[in-house]
Amino acid sequence: MTGRQLRIVLVCEAAGGGVGKHVLDVAESLPSLGFDVLLVHSVRRAEPQFAARLAQHTRHGYRVATVDVDRAPGPRDVAGVLQLRRAVREFGGADVLHGHSSKGGALARLARWGCARRVFYTAHGFYAQAPSLPSAVRRLYGFAEHALALATDQVIAVSNEEKQVARTLGIPERKLAVVENGIWLRDDAELARDRATARAALGLTDAEVVIGFVGRLAPPKTPELAVETFGRIRRSHANARFILVGDGPQAPEVSEALAAHGVAGATTWLRDAVGRDMLPAMDVLLVTSQYEGFPYVMLEALDAGCAIVTTPVGGARDCVVHGRNGAIVNEPTPDAFSTAVEQFIESPDALRAARTVSRTHAHNFEIERMINRLATLYRNAVDDAA
């Protein structure tokens, strides 16, 4: 290699949520480590928070380009591949072309020839895991992942669980690496200030125990399970409050569930709030997802000092020490979730201890660790190609 900066192209279609946050964190951090970075995103799902951060790209030293593709596979993808190839060539080519999520990963793999020396892929939760998919469709997506892996030099799993899923899809061990997600952490004084501010803004008293849900209101997250769980808790714990942060296609069903379980009056629903800002107000976070790669909300809950009650999705075993700072619920029923949450409502000492354990555990996921690990994988891949 010459002394020039390595050129890294990050590609994402899901320009929002955890995927958008991850890609922006990487794009903002790599230039200071000596990389030349281009972020290519879809114009169709650029959420406001993503767009606001993206507008600051020149301050962080990376460049931006767009493609016009839909979320679902379709004819527009052909044009998207051509647009991506054009953007990469105008950038001067890619030493590493790194696709994120299913669509971003597919675009990167299909555009690689003549544009990139190495191609990486991070699924952020393989869509083939979705239990709501018909078995034939799940097999089709699994076959697509296996086939596209042939055009991939490195598959990055964001949790050990996601790595195991990749292996079941037939992706070779030699192509797999684990790089857990990372976040910027608050110090203790900052957290205390943020908790006091958030709880005061929401009108919460010290006597109220706050159970929260943060995420897109969509089928994979099963937000109605969180609402039903809170309904059961509220019947025997009048001091329990519920904070629901998020919006999405299942918002009407969530609204109906809040009314049906009689907890609309005990719930604060913040459709447009930032989860990181609201988590310090919470005591227990519910993660009711059917599948995940490694949800950022878990890491932010550790940073906020929350107990976490979750399904056994990717990252759960990395974040939760069962019985100490939360619980992993293997049977996702309202009874199982409410029983797990109530151990913290009914014991202030257990809740205080859980908050301490979460804060300590958060230091395993500082963002510098994630960025340095990715940078090393990029450099090694390019050195191997030389």
Domain 6-182+366-385: CATH architecture, name and number where available: 3-Layer(aba) Sandwich (3.40)
* Least reliable range by pLDDT among 27-36, 64-73, 192-201, 243-252: 64-73
CATH 3.40.50.2000 boundaries in the chain = 6-182+366-385, 188-364
Q: pLDDT tens digits for 321-350? A: 999 999 999 999 999 999 999 999 999 999
- For domain 188-364, give the CATH number: 3.40.50.2000
- Given a cut of 60, is residue 382 above it in pLDDT? yes
Q: pLDDT tens digits for 274-292? A: 999 999 999 999 999 998 9
Average pLDDT of the chain is 93
Q: pLDDT tens digits for 42-63? A: 988 888 889 999 999 999 999 9
Q: pLDDT tens digits for 62-113? A: 999 999 998 787 788 899 999 999 999 999 999 999 999 989 999 999 999 9
Query: Which pLDDT score is estimated for 134?
Result: 78
- Given a cut of 70, is residue 1 above it in pLDDT? no
Three-state secondary structure of the chain: CCCCCEEEEEEECCCCHHHHHHHHHHHHHHHHHCEEEEEEEECCCCCHHHHHHHCCHHHHCCEEEEECCCCCCCCHHHHHHHHHHHHHHHHCCEEEEEEEHHHHHHHHHHHCCCCEEEEEEECCCCHHHCCCCCHHHHHHHHHHHHHHHCCCCEEEECCHHHHHHHHHCCCCHHHEEECCCCECCCCHHHHHHHHHHHHHHCCCCCCCEEEEEECCCCHHHCHHHHHHHHHHHHHHCCCEEEEEECCCCCHHHHHHHHHHCCCHHHEEEECCCCHHHHHHHCCEEEECCCCCCCCHHHHHHHHHCCEEEECCCCCHHHHCCECCCEEECCCCCHHHHHHHHHHHHCCHHHHHHHHHHHHHHHHHHEHHHHHHHHHHHHHHHHHHHC
